[in-house]
A = this chain, B = another copy of it.
Amino acid sequence: MQIGRARQVVTADEIFDLVREDLNCVENAIRVESAASVPAVTTPISKYLEQDGEKRLRAALLLLCSRFAGGGNKRMAIQLGAVVEMLHAATLVHDEMIDGAQTRYAWPSDHIHRANRTCVLAGDWLYIRAFRVALQERVLDVVLGAAQTMVAAGLMQRDRIGRIGITESDCVELAERKTACLFSICGKLGAVAGGVDPRDGGKLGEFAWNLGMAVQLIDDVLEFSRDLEDGKVTLPLVYALEQASVSERDVVAAVLRDRGSDVVPLASVVALVDRYGGIPRTRERARRFADSARQIGAEFPNSVCRRALLTLTELVTERDG
């Protein structure tokens, strides 16, 4: 919270400047890998990749870690940057399936169904291309492990939908599987591409893991209302429920049970979370993970890349959209 907006913007630019050229190469690699010889295949996939307006945070982290670790194999770092972004995009695409209630447009239901079916195959395509590049770079074992963890997290999350008895440690476990795991891989793969012995890449992996935890918890803050609409109980609500009365818990249970029916308005749950400070407490938890990342990073030898990595830990907890 010490960081003013002006300084934040400058710093973010500085960070991305360090790896901008390599990030452009990652972008090209993604375009090459996701394209297919059949136009019927290429068109829907490129649409999904372009829709992903994120700033390639995972690739940027991997590239920074690789430079920090010596910058040995730049070509490999770029290829692996494409791998982690395609993997991330694949999970988003498979998670993005829409239903009639969610879309803002008056799409006929068969239109929605067709869009979803194409989503599924486009996601498959991205997974498979990511795996092929990872196989060429001899890191597929690690990448398949991360993919498996993320898919398991998705199933776990689906299984918990509408349930009220979720604990803080459930949320932390989910954040770890859903997000921190891939961040950790970015740190480790960056170290490998940079030329560091994999055993010494452990610290970069730990740093990146904590950064990923902070990113996910801030996501839980920013996506709180949408998650609630989907019946997902995330940390802000878990913290509020810890202090809620029995009758307040009953209201939440009713909202989760009857979601979409508008019998009990979502607004009452949002008010409850406000009342018991669920949002600031979640931000505070995220900040503790960012602090842990910073402590690990503080032991790294000083360099422009170290400063960039440390600044990343501040940026992720301060972002508000």
A binding-site residues for B, Cβ under 8 Å: 36, 38, 40-41, 44-45, 94, 97, 99-101, 109-110, 113-114, 116-118, 120-125, 127-129, 131-132, 135, 140-141, 144, 147-148, 151-152, 154-156, 158-161, 260
Q: A97-B116, A97-B120, A128-B144 are in contact. List 5 more A-B contacts (CB 8 A).
A: A40-B155, A101-B109, A120-B123, A129-B148, A135-B144
Interface SS of chain A: helix
A94 in complex: contacting residue of B99, B124, B156, CB < 8 Å: B124
Q: Which residues of B contact A99 (CB under 8 A)?
A: 109-110, 113
Asked if B40 contacts A159 (CB within 8 A), the reply is: yes
How many copies altogether? 2
Most interface-central of A109, A120, A123, A125 (chain B CB within 10 A) = A120
A155 in complex: contacting residue of B44, B141, B154, CB < 8 Å: B44
Q: Shortest CB–CB separation between residue A273 and chain B, in angstroms?
A: 24
Asked if B128 contacts A148 (CB within 8 A), the reply is: yes
**A156-B109 contact in complex given A97-B116, A116-B116, A135-B141, C-beta closer than 8 Å:** no
Asked if B135 contacts A147 (CB within 8 A), the reply is: no
Q: Which residues of B contact A156 (CB under 8 A)?
A: 38, 40-41
Asked if B121 contacts A97 (CB within 8 A), the reply is: no
Closest to A128 in B: B148
Q: Shortest CB–CB separation between residue A38 and chain B, in angstroms?
A: 6
Asked if A151 contacts B121 (CB within 8 A), the reply is: yes
Asked if B140 contacts A135 (CB within 8 A), the reply is: yes
Q: Which residues of B contact A151 (CB under 8 A)?
A: 121, 124-125, 128
Asked if A41 contacts B155 (CB within 8 A), the reply is: yes
Asked if A144 contacts B132 (CB within 8 A), the reply is: yes
Give Cα A110 to B161, complex, Å: 13
Asked if B121 contacts A120 (CB within 8 A), the reply is: no
**A132-B148 contact in complex given A109-B100, A121-B94, C-beta closer than 8 Å:** yes
Q: Shortest CB–CB separation between residue A32 and chain B, in angstroms?
A: 15
Closest to A100 in B: B109
A158 in complex: contacting residue of B118, B131, B140, B159, CB < 8 Å: B118
A144 in complex: contacting residue of B117, B131, B155, B158, CB < 8 Å: B131
Q: Shortest CB–CB separation between residue A101 and chain B, in angstroms?
A: 7
